[in-house]
Every structure is written in structure tokens, then in C-alpha cells.
Amino acid sequence: MTTIYDVARRSGVSPATVSRVLSGRRNVDPQLSEKVRAAVAELGYRPNGVARNLRKSSTNLWAVVISDIENPFFTSLVRGLEDVAQTEGYHVVLCNSDEDPAKEAAYASAVLTDQMAGVVISPTSTAEGVQQLAEAKIPLVLIDRRVDGVEADTVLVDNEHGAHEGVKHLIDGGYQRIACITGPRKVSTAMDRLAGYRSALRAGGIRYNKDLVRHADFREAGGYAAMESLLELAEPPEALFVTNNLMTVGALECLAKKGLRAPADIAVVGFDDIPWADLVVPSLTTVAQPTYELGRTAGLLLKDRTASPGRPPSTVTLRTELHIRATSAPRTKKR
């Protein structure tokens, strides 16, 4: 394995000079720098990252721990984070907790063991890993979800407002018996979106009916089961608001298997845009989140936290946008 001493001998300079050139310092004669870089290229030298990290007590790695790698919501989010990381000289390591607190805690331990420079995390319901990271004082940004009792930089969207707008749209279309499929009770996004659903009903003069609400797991299977349960009611809903994209897919699959269509049999609004939302027939009405900007903002907060570890934590809340399409067309007949 080529060492810094081999580079020094080949270029005719001291190991200290080689180190200064490779670290980007400008107080080296340009001709010497050229010799060092030529020797590095000729010998195929790569710096020893392990040794460098031991000296620095951290790596140039950011971990991003997401709750479900199969959810397309996270694709653009991670891209936004990675674009910031690349600009700032960091590399991103992707970790999938799979909504499993034990996996989240294991990834948190790995982050600390490998001395990563910072973490962006979408917490699970118990947030075990977040607690570990917060106690270790590692630069940390929470994304998509809050954690009670943890003071950390956080990036959210206005979930309650977005849900309110989606349900209001259904009410304005003439629907009264509107169901809601939301996520686990311990997850802040699920409860915020449920609160938006309830506030829209209240503003529209519609009484809240807990029999029209289902808590699921933010997965397709959960959305399917919740939709099936709602259809078994003596008086099924006229319209449906679903609080994430995968559960919306599951609900639509259930409707298709039952021979039902939106909006003819039940109007549908989902939370989270889906890449094919305007390509399917009928096209799907969604409350869209600025996913790329969520990731980008998290990256900027992590950069600032690394530079100023003592500053007070901040929360950035981004706006959603209602994309009205065919599945929420106004009611045209008595149901």
C-alpha cells in the first residue's frame, strides 16, 4: 500500500510538505505542489481515511436515517441533502430504519462508533436512536417528525395546514361523510394531519366521527386494511383523506379490488405527491410536500450546527401545496 512517505520520496519533498499539499493548504510553493500531485497520480496514492479520522475525531460522513426506503417521499429528500453535503465536502450514508426502533438504535450506535460528522434522521415512533444521538451531542437534525423532549434542529412541513386544505377541498366539493386514514398515534406527522382533518371538519360545520378514522402503519398494507374496514361500515364514507402516499396506494388498491372507483364511488385526497399521480386514470388529488427543499434545508441546518455547535436549535416549517386532480371531483349525485 502506497504511503505518504513514498509520495515524499518520489516528489523529492518532506512528508510534511506532502501533507500540506493534500490538505489544501496554500503556503506551499506551486512547483512543489505540482511535483507532489504528479507523484500522487503516478503512484495511485489514496489518503488513509481511518488514520485521518482518528486524528480529527470525526469523519467526513453524514448519515441520513430514513424510516422507509421504499417510500418515494424520501427519494427527492435525500437528493436535496446530498447536494448540500457534496458542496460542503461531505459524503452521505443512507440508512433505513424500516420504522423499527431497534434498527434505528443500531444505526445510531454505528454513527457514534464510526465517528460520523452529523446525522439527519426521520425518527421512528419511539425515537430510541434519536435519544442516543442527542445525549452524545453529535450534530443532529430531525426531519419530517418531531420528538418530544429532544431539543434539536428540525425541518417539518405544515402538516396540519396541508391536511386542513385537503379536507376543506372535499367539503367544498359537497362531501359530508369524509373518512381519514392516518398513521401511528405516536408519530407526530400522523397526529398533526389528523388534527388538520378535524379542524377542517369543524370549520365546515361537520361533526367529528371517530368511526370514520383509522390508524394504520404508513404502509400500503395498512392503507388497504384500513380502507377495507371503512367499506364494511353500515354507512361507508363518501370521501377519503389519506395521510401519506403509500397508504393512499393501498386504499386505491382496495377500492379497485372491490370494483369501486374514485370519485364515482368515493372521492380521494392523499397526502404526499406521487410521481405518477397525474398519469393514472383518474388522476390523484394530493397534498404535495417540498421534498427536495426538506432535504436541502436539513443539510444547511446540519452544516450550520457543525460550524456553531452552541447555537440554540431552530425549527423550519415549509408549506405544502394542494394539487387538485380528478379523484376529488365535486359530488354530482346523492350517495
| DSSP secondary structure, 3-41, as one string | -HHHHHHHHTS-HHHHHHHHTT-S-S-HHHHHHHHHHHH
For 43, how many CA atoms within 13 A lie in the half-sphere containing its CB? 20
End-to-end Cα separation, the chain, in angstroms = 75
Q: What share of the chain is helix, strand, coil (3-state, %, to 5)?
A: 45, 15, 40
What region, left, alpha or beta, does residue 33 occupy, with left being phi > 0 and alpha being psi -120 to 50 degrees? alpha
Average pLDDT value over all residues in the chain = 91
More confident residue, 99 or 298: 298
d(C-alpha 180, C-alpha 52), whole Å = 52
Q: Is the pLDDT of residue 273 over 80?
A: yes
Q: What percent of the chain stands above pLDDT 70?
A: 94
Q: Say which amino acid occupies 38.
A: A
CA angle 315, 319, 323 (to 5 degrees): 155
According to the model, what pLDDT value does residue 24 have? 66
User: Mean of the pLDDT values across residues 41-52?
Assistant: 71
- Segment holding 112, helix H or strand E: helix 101-113
Residues 6+ apart with CB under 8 A from 306: 117, 118, 139
Helix 291-307 and helix 73-88, axial crossing angle in degrees, nearest 10: 40
Distance of alpha carbon 170 from alpha carbon 36, whole angstroms? 67
**Which of 24-28, 123-127, 142-146, 254-258 shows the lowest mean pLDDT across its residues?**
24-28
Q: How confident is the model at residue 246 (pLDDT cuts 50, 70, 90)?
A: very high
The model's pTM is 0.82
**Which residues does 288 contact at the CB level (< 8 Å), separation at least 6?**
272, 273, 320, 321, 322, 323
Domains and CATH numbers, the chain: 4-55 (1.10.260.40), 56-157+291-319 (3.40.50.2300), 159-288 (3.40.50.2300)
Average of pLDDT values for 114-118?
90
Q: Is the dihedral of CA 127, 132, 136, 140 positive or negative?
A: negative
Beta strands in 194-262 (DSSP E): 213-215, 239-242
Task: Report the pLDDT value the prediction gives residue 133, as an integer from 0 to 100.
Answer: 93
